Amino acid sequence: MSDPHDWAPSTPSAPDQHPSREHVLAGLKATDEGGADLVQLLTPEGERVADPRFDQFATDLDSAALQGLYRDMVLVRRFDREGNALQRQGQLGIWVPLLGQEAAQIGAGRALQPQDMAFPSYREHGVAWTRGIDPTELLGIFRGTDHGAWDPKDARFHLYTIVIGNQCLNATGYAMGQRFESKVGEGPEAEATICFFGDGATSQGDVHEGFVWAAVYDAPVVFYFQNNQWAISEPTERQTRVPLYKRAAGYGFPGIRVDGNDVLACLAVTRWALEECRTGNGPVLVEAFTYRMDAHTTSDDPTRYRLADELELWKLKDPIERVRVNLVREHGIGQEFFSGVQAESDALAARFREYCVNMPPPAPDRMFSQVYAEGSTTVDAQRQEYLAYHESFESHGSPAVGGGR
């Protein structure tokens, strides 16, 4: 019979010498910094390193492919910065920045096949980009005029989910459907689902329930979480006593940790995980270890709860810079390419701004007209009452844009 104290930390070993809380936290921080169990194909210094397990999922990633990934990340970062600025200018109620998480999102997004389905949280602007969603289609969510302007079925990208972890249930259910409808298998049409969430979401019951259902139904779902080390002001060590990817073992499926600032590694590992799922070996948990270089949202002030040193350290691991260095040093790419991407990002930023400031306010009855597909007498009555109230004002200006979380 196994020793019931097996789970206890092995050092120090004497039963009356349990490690202090600080000892445990310090150990966790050290583990969180990555190590032998962190898949990496591109170092922060831009050097391509071999990986015996995952190189086979990166064989086609030549100079042209790398330039494409660089372009993706630069353009996504650029419209993300514009989103922040537009909120500060009063054009958006809130913006949720992705600064620093470009590689984690572009790598995972570019690993998807058109037939795969993705369920985002609220920060996945980079994944949206890889699904062909124009950045302007995200603006209504943050301006408070709609819940997203794309068709989730066409884009194979669900609407944003603000309720933390809830999309893990939706994604698991969707993936179970893929299995029941025999869409899992060896052929080129085989499908998988990917579910995005954050480190903080791993503490939610919905995520646990999703893991349990996915495990026992062998659902073809990749649970891909970006550990940006913060859940608003809560650090990862307040969420867990073990590196989060190791939790997968308790559910009976593989868990793996990848350098979330390394776009090649994120792409290769997600390709592997999706392939496992498509061929019936799902689910898989992927932890993309990264860092949120900006505030949680434009309503947050991270200087209240974290040290500037931490940010400075992570700037040295910037996901875009390491690709730029690699393109220059190992592929001989010159300034012309980088200037071209810069010009393209300027044009995208201008179009994004222009679209935002010219967005018409939604019709005043919109919140009633889209509740039920076939109408409802109660909602219709509320609609009439509201419209009459609205008409009682002399001027019907644009709705105010406010703050929020």
Ligand X SMILES: Cc1ncc(C[n+]2csc(CCOP(=O)(O)OP(=O)(O)O)c2C)c(N)n1
| 198, 220, 260, 282: which one binds Mg ion (CB under 5 A) | 198
Q: Choosing among ligand X, Mg ion, none, which partner's interface includes residue 123 (Cβ < 5 to 8 Å by kind)?
A: ligand X
199 near Mg ion (CB under 5 A): yes
Choice among 247, 296, 322, 353 that is catalytic = 296
**How, if at all, do strands 284-289 and 221-227 pair?**
parallel
Residues 320, 102 contacting (CB under 8 angstroms): yes
Choice among 131, 179, 257, 292 that is catalytic = 292
Q: Choosing among Mg ion, ligand X, none, which partner's interface includes residue 201 (Cβ < 5 to 8 Å by kind)?
A: ligand X
Choice among 88, 238, 241, 305 that is catalytic = 305
Using CB under 6 A as the binding rule, the residues of this chain from 218 to 257 that contact ligand X are 228, 230-232
| 332: phi then psi, degrees, rounded to nearest 5 | 60, 30
Q: Which is nearer to ligand X, 227 or 345 (CB)?
A: 227
Cα 212 from Cα 362, distance rounded (Å): 41
Query: Of 347, 263, 223, 220, nearest to 44 (Cα)?
Result: 263
Cα 228 from Cα 221, distance rounded (Å): 21
- The CB-of-163 to ligand X minimum distance in angstroms stands at 5
Q: Choosing among Mg ion, ligand X, none, which partner's interface includes residue 162 (Cβ < 5 to 8 Å by kind)?
A: ligand X
Residue ranges of E strands in 273-373: 284-289
Q: By rule CB under 6 A, what count of residues binds ligand X?
A: 16
Q: Choosing among ligand X, Mg ion, none, which partner's interface includes residue 232 (Cβ < 5 to 8 Å by kind)?
A: ligand X
Please classify residue 43 by burial: count the beta carbons closer than 10 Å to its beta carbon, then call 0-12 exposed, 13-18 middle and 19+ buried. Answer: middle
- Residue 296 is among the residues annotated as catalytic for this protein: yes
| 123, 156, 322, 353: which one binds ligand X (CB under 6 A) | 123
- The CB-of-239 to ligand X minimum distance in angstroms stands at 8
| 127, 139, 190, 201: which one binds ligand X (CB under 6 A) | 201
Where does this chain touch ligand X (CB under 6 A) — which range of 36-44, 162-170, 187-195, 359-367? 162-170
- The CB-of-81 to ligand X minimum distance in angstroms stands at 17
- Residue 329 is among the residues annotated as catalytic for this protein: no
Q: Which is nearer to Mg ion, 57 or 122 (CB)?
A: 122
The angle at the Cα of 376, spanning 373 to 379, to the nearest 5 degrees, equals 110
- The CB-of-316 to ligand X minimum distance in angstroms stands at 21
228 near Mg ion (CB under 5 A): yes
- Residue 123 is among the residues annotated as catalytic for this protein: no
200 near ligand X (CB under 6 A): yes
User: What does the buried/exposed string (b/e) look like for 311-350 if buried means 16 or more CB atoms within 10 Å of the residue's CB?
Assistant: beebeebbbbebbbbbbeeeeebeeebbeebeeebeebbe
198 near ligand X (CB under 6 A): yes
Cα 114 from Cα 116, distance rounded (Å): 6
164 near ligand X (CB under 6 A): yes
Region of 195 on the Ramachandran plot (φ > 0 left; ψ -120 to 50 alpha; else beta):
beta
Cα 316 from Cα 325, distance rounded (Å): 12
Q: Which is nearer to ligand X, 229 or 326 (CB)?
A: 229
Residues 79, 348 contacting (CB under 8 angstroms): yes
Amino acid in position 224: Y
Q: Which two three-digit tokens encode residue 80?
A: 């993300």
- The CB-of-119 to Mg ion minimum distance in angstroms stands at 17
| 219: phi then psi, degrees, rounded to nearest 5 | -70, 140
Q: In 10 A of CB 364, how many CB atoms?
A: 16
Q: Which is nearer to ligand X, 248 or 341 (CB)?
A: 248
Q: Choosing among ligand X, Mg ion, none, which partner's interface includes residue 164 (Cβ < 5 to 8 Å by kind)?
A: ligand X
Q: Which is nearer to ligand X, 123 or 278 (CB)?
A: 123
Using CB under 6 A as the binding rule, the residues of this chain from 282 to 301 that contact ligand X are 292, 296
Amino acid in position 68: G
| 199, 287, 300, 318: which one binds ligand X (CB under 6 A) | 199
Cα 352 from Cα 130, distance rounded (Å): 17
- The residue ranges that bind ligand X (CB under 6 A) are 123, 162-164, 197-201, 228, 230-232, 292, 296, 405
- The residue ranges that bind Mg ion (CB under 5 A) are 198-200, 228, 231
Hey, which residues are catalytic here? 292, 296, 305
